[in-house]
């Protein structure tokens, strides 16, 4: 079977925790420079059947995307993702959907939900 084309590049900013403490005596958090990573594509969460929260009395804007990635791409829950065309980073929203364990040896990859929350 011909592999899917990896036509899009995203950036993965890996989470790093320092030994330094902030004013609240918590370890300082930071993220690496973006690592260019080839993926199949990305798009709106609603395009992939992933609905966003719809609750009464909630004033939040949630901008969500889904990244469709090859099996070897790993993004941890604390990493951040840079998507071309957006002026902010995205955070991972929950566990990724792993599509590599099917019964027929077909391992297309995973889908990773991303979010940007602004209060």
Residues near 36 by beta carbon (within 8 Å), at least 6 away in sequence: 9, 10, 11
Element containing residue 62 per DSSP (H, E): strand 61-69
* Domains of the chain from N-terminus onward: 8-118 (2.40.10)
Q: What is the pLDDT of residue 46?
A: 62
Tens of pLDDT, residue by residue over 39-79, are 999 988 765 555 555 555 555 555 789 999 999 999 999 99
pLDDT of the residue at 106: 86
- Summarize pLDDT for 80-95 with one digit per residue, the tens: 999 999 988 999 998 8
Question: What pLDDT does residue 110 have?
Answer: 93
């Amino acid at each position: 079977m011909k592999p899917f084309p990896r036509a899009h590049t995203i950036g993965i900013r890996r989470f790093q925790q320092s030994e330094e403490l902030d004013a609240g005596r918590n370890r300082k958090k930071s993220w690496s420079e973006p690592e260019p990573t080839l993926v199949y594509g990305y798009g709106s969460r609603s395009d992939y059947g992933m609905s966003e929260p719809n609750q009464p009395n909630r004033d939040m804007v949630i901008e969500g995307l889904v990244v469709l990635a090859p099996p070897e791409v790993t993004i941890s829950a604390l990493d951040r993702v840079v998507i071309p065309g957006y002026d902010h980073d995205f955070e991972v929203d929950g566990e990724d959907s792993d599509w590599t364990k099917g019964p027929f040896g077909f391992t297309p990859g995973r889908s990773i939900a991303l979010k940007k929350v602004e209060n």
